[in-house]
A and B are shown apart, each in its own frame.
Chain A
Amino acid sequence: MKSATGSHTGTGTWLVQRATALVLALALPALAVYFLRALPADFADWQALFAPLWVRVLLLLTSAALALHAWVGMRDIFMDYVHHTGARLVLYLGVILTLAGCEIVMIMTLWK
């Protein structure tokens, strides 16, 4: 039984952190090159950059990896510095809501 405060889940989260780090290390430079090469753009050019399906799928997968990566990282920071369990759980909740909100806005932006 895993506890709600995140104990006994260390190896799994450690692995998630590394796996998502690898995905991000490959995807983010590729996306940066794709977008920076097209600048400066007007609105039509900008919109056209997001038209191919592979761009939207890659952005969605990358943002999902980023959300998981950021969650583990912020959780590590709070585990180190915030020792009051209640306060830490509130902060965890804030991070989860922020990241989930970002994902929802990403999906709505890419597929509207």
Chain B
Amino acid sequence: MKPIARPVYLNLFRIHLPLPGWVSILHRVSGALLFFALPLGVWSLSVSLSGDAGFRRMADALAHPLARLVLLGLVWAFAHHFLAGVRHLALDVHWGTELKRARQSSLAVMLVAGLVTLLAAWRLFT
């Protein structure tokens, strides 16, 4: 008997990813973003503590809307990575692994991370 020819979709634009899948891939994307932001953060901290001039240079840089937009992006990345990470730890100890609850918790991760980002946007841009 010949095997049935099944469609194999490895095209990212044709794969339908369920919500827990989005939480998972965004956990990875946000983690990578945070890694690339780390040297910038450490350098900024070092300059801001180097003296009065360095502190003012960093404060001025952070007043720029573009810098605040980057900061906002990092707030989202941190919030998502944190919440999705806590969710993964819970799944590791077999808490919330039933399909329904796993879907609910992934929706909660997306919503709370979005809410935190909105609050940060309000704080940064008003």
Interchain CA distance A63-B108 in the complex, whole Å: 28
Once A25-B86, A77-B28, A109-B45 are accepted as A-B contacts, the answer to whether A43 and B56 lie under 8 Å apart by CB is yes
Inter-subunit contact A102/B49 (CB<8 Å): no
B55 touches A25 (CB 8 A): no
Q: Determine if B55 and A74 form an interchain contact, defined as CB atoms under 8 angstroms apart.
A: no
Q: Which residues of A are found within 8 Å of B28, using beta-carbon distances?
A: 73, 77
**Interface residues in B, total, Cβ within 8 A:** 22
B51 lies within 8 A of A43 (CB): yes
User: Which residue of A is nearest B51, CB measured?
Assistant: A43
Spell out A's residues near B (CB within 8 Å): 18, 21-22, 25, 28, 42-43, 46-47, 50, 63, 66, 70, 73-74, 77, 95, 98-99, 101-102, 105-106, 108-109
Known A-B contacts: A43-B52, A70-B34. Give 10 more (CB < 8 A): A46-B49, A70-B31, A73-B35, A77-B31, A102-B39, A102-B42, A105-B42, A106-B42, A106-B45, A109-B42
Question: Chain B interface (Cβ within 8 Å of chain A)?
Answer: 28, 31-32, 34-35, 38-39, 42-43, 45-46, 48-49, 51-52, 55-56, 82, 85-86, 89, 92
